Amino acid sequence: MWMSEFVPSGQVPGSRPRERRAAASLSSQWLGLVLEELDHGVVLLNGAGRVLHANLAARASLDDNHPLELVGQHLRARLLTDAVPLAEALEGAEASGRRCLLRLGDERAECGRANVVVVPLNRDVSQAAVLLILERRQLCGDLAAQWFALRYQLTPAETEVLKALSNGVKPTEVAQRQGVAISTVRSQIQSIRAKSGADSIGELMRQLALLPPLVSSLRPAKLVN
């Protein structure tokens, strides 16, 4: 038999396919765990909009005011004006391998606007799928900013200033929120820059933008289930 040429001595014929299936199943489990650890929303779906997997960050984003929403097992556009562009992007990705950047929503609507990258997954697979990558609502997550603060031994007040700056809050507004003088906030920013080695606020923001995404192990039950 030709199979004997490929089956090592002492190995039962057919065991290798079982090993491969077990390895593929384990890899799939690992992939699912990897997606859950990303602080970036990703949704895997087919061209008809049926969701195959949405990671924790995506479920958190879509649970809030977002131009897209999860309805059962399907992804839908909240606004009618986005329904056709979304459907065309998904169909084009699945059928033609076309990737694109969608700008969805309306600044005048409650959901606001958001960018979504549509990525086709149709190479060397028996069934094509589509990956949606949602934009981050923050420059970096609170947990990443907290670790950054610990790394450079920032004070609690400096940490709060850092988080506010990473969310796009201007120093004058930070001072108003904290009920302190603008000179106090500027001194705190100067201290943060000195400790982190940043020459400017722009450089400080660049350091925050380059931080690896960190997701807390303490996750809301409604998102985990």
Take residue 75 and report the two structure tokens written for it: 């992804």
What does the alpha-carbon distance between residue 66 and residue 40 come to, in Å, rounded to a whole number?
14
- What average pLDDT does the segment 4-33 reach? 61
Best-predicted range by mean pLDDT among 48-52, 162-166, 188-192? 188-192
pLDDT at residue 6 in the model: 38
Q: Can you tell me the mean pLDDT for 31-55?
A: 85
* pLDDT value, residue 86: 94
Q: How many CB atoms lie within 10 A of CB 83?
A: 13
Lowest mean pLDDT among 21-30, 145-154, 203-212: 21-30
In 39-92, the DSSP E strands lie at: 42-45, 51-54, 68-71, 74-77
Instruction: Report pLDDT for 84.
Output: 95
134: left (phi over 0), alpha (psi -120 to 50) or beta: beta
Inform me whether the pLDDT recorded for 23 exceeds 70.
no
Q: Give tens-digit pLDDT for 104-133.
A: 999 888 888 999 999 999 887 777 889 999
- Average per-residue pLDDT in the chain? 83
* pTM recorded for the entire structure: 0.68
